[in-house]
Amino acid sequence: MKNCYLGIDVGSVSTSVVLMDEDKEIIGKVYTGTNGRPIDAVQRALKEVKLQVDEVPNIKGVGTTGSGRNLAAMIVGADVVKNEITAHGIAALNFVDGVRTILEIGGQDSKIILLKNGIINDFAMNTVCAAGTGSFLDRQATRMGIDIKDFGRLALKSINPVRIAGRCAVFAETDMIHKQQLGHNQEDIIRGLSDALVRNFLNNLGKGKDIVGPVVFQGGVAANVGIKKSFEEALGLEIFVPPHYDVMGSIGCCLLAEEHAAKGNETVFRGFDIVNSGYDVKGIECKGCANMCEVVEIFKDGQIMARWGDKCGKWSSLVKCE
């Protein structure tokens, strides 16, 4: 039975699970939609990743990240719970020795991480503006009748890219429609959009920051060769895209879990059988004081597992996790 580590990244748009062995080889990975049901997504991904290996691995450690990291940790029994900045930083360092800049664009947000001597020393996140995110690109591809997989390839065919206003998703879409009505071809509009989204990223997240190479581009949008090319031309630097660019957060969690286990800590992983359990989440509003806390309750097979969200501990202290 092979010793392995599990990394789980639960985001608002996508959920990924990675199974890494002790040689840091990725022996299983799943990238799936969250679809507003993070618990189902985690269970589905765990079930799929288990099917990718010949025998049930011996899990030595589990890490979770993403906006749903605390929920995922509660469900699976995680040893390490870290924010996305840390998880992505650790993963990139493992891919490119001496990496100085990480560009990450996911389904709903984007971030830039700057490292010095292997340590994160600055970062910025954008979770407000939709322009430049994967979901925005998907929507524009659908509107133009183009498969998102062909979006980047078409951008590279452009000879005379048009200038698109990229500071806002609404303005960008309006400008694209206007350029289409003027008769510009798809390739030039798509390349113009790619350039606009990169300008938006660098003006918002990269403003005032010293962006130097090596530069790693990760997140689902890293598959878009048009965006990669626009970044290279804007920065004047070569951009490296990792082989597992779409699950780097989960890979970082595997590495962090391995670190945790190396210190002699036993895992609290609940086992793959959790895929067969029924989970429910319910929200209640505590009216005990002026804070009016929104308390989240999680049930497993009808039994209360945990509560969190209260500032004073009145509710969360009533339940002790197994």
| Model pLDDT for residues 47-56, shown as the tens digit of each residue | 999 999 988 8
Other CB atoms closer than 10 Å to residue 174's CB: what's the count? 13
Is residue 306, in this structure, part of any structural domain at all? Answer: yes
Is residue 286, in this structure, part of any structural domain at all? Answer: yes
Is residue 37, in this structure, part of any structural domain at all? Answer: yes
Do 211 and 116 lie in a common domain? yes
Do 69 and 205 lie in a common domain? no
Determine which of 37-41, 137-141, 168-172 has the lowest per-residue pLDDT on average.
Answer: 168-172
d(CA 228, CA 145): 22
Query: Which residues form the domain of 298?
Result: 279-318
d(CA 318, CA 322): 13
> What's the average model confidence in pLDDT over 244-268?
95
> What's the average model confidence in pLDDT over 111-137?
82
> What's the average model confidence in pLDDT over 209-216?
92
Average pLDDT over the chain reads: 87
Q: Provide the pLDDT confidence category of residue 7 given band limits of 50, 70 and 90.
A: very high
Do 13 and 37 lie in a common domain? yes
Contacts of 75 (CB under 8 A, 6+ apart): 39, 42, 43, 270, 274, 279, 298
Q: Which of 219, 241, 263 is the last residue of a domain?
A: 241
Do 236 and 125 lie in a common domain? yes
Q: How many domains does the chain have?
A: 3
| DSSP state letters, 240-301 | E--TTGGGHHHHHHHHHHHHHHHTTPPP----GGGGGS-EEEEEEE--SSTT--EEEEEEET
Does position 123 have pLDDT exceeding 70, yes or no?
A: yes
pTM for the model stands at: 0.83
Do 17 and 117 lie in a common domain? no
Higher per-residue pLDDT: 125 or 129: 125
> What's the average model confidence in pLDDT over 198-222?
89
Determine which of 25-34, 73-82, 128-137, 172-181 has the lowest per-residue pLDDT on average.
Answer: 128-137
DSSP designation for 36:
T
> The domain spanning residue 225 has which CATH number?
3.30.420.40
Q: How far apart are the first and last CA of the chain?
A: 26
Q: Provide the pLDDT confidence category of residue 175 given band limits of 50, 70 and 90.
A: confident
Is residue 92, in this structure, part of any structural domain at all? Answer: no
Do 21 and 154 lie in a common domain? no
Does position 24 have pLDDT exceeding 90, yes or no?
A: yes
- In this structure, the strands spanning 279-285 and 294-300 are antiparallel
Is residue 25, in this structure, part of any structural domain at all? Answer: yes
**pLDDT tens digits for range 61-112:** 999 998 889 889 988 999 999 999 999 999 999 888 889 999 998 777 789 9
* Helices 148-156 and 225-235: angle between axes, nearest 10 degrees: 40
Is residue 35, in this structure, part of any structural domain at all? Answer: yes
Determine which of 49-53, 199-203, 263-267 has the lowest per-residue pLDDT on average.
Answer: 199-203
Cβ atoms of 250 and 8 within 8 Å: the answer is yes
Is residue 187, in this structure, part of any structural domain at all? Answer: yes
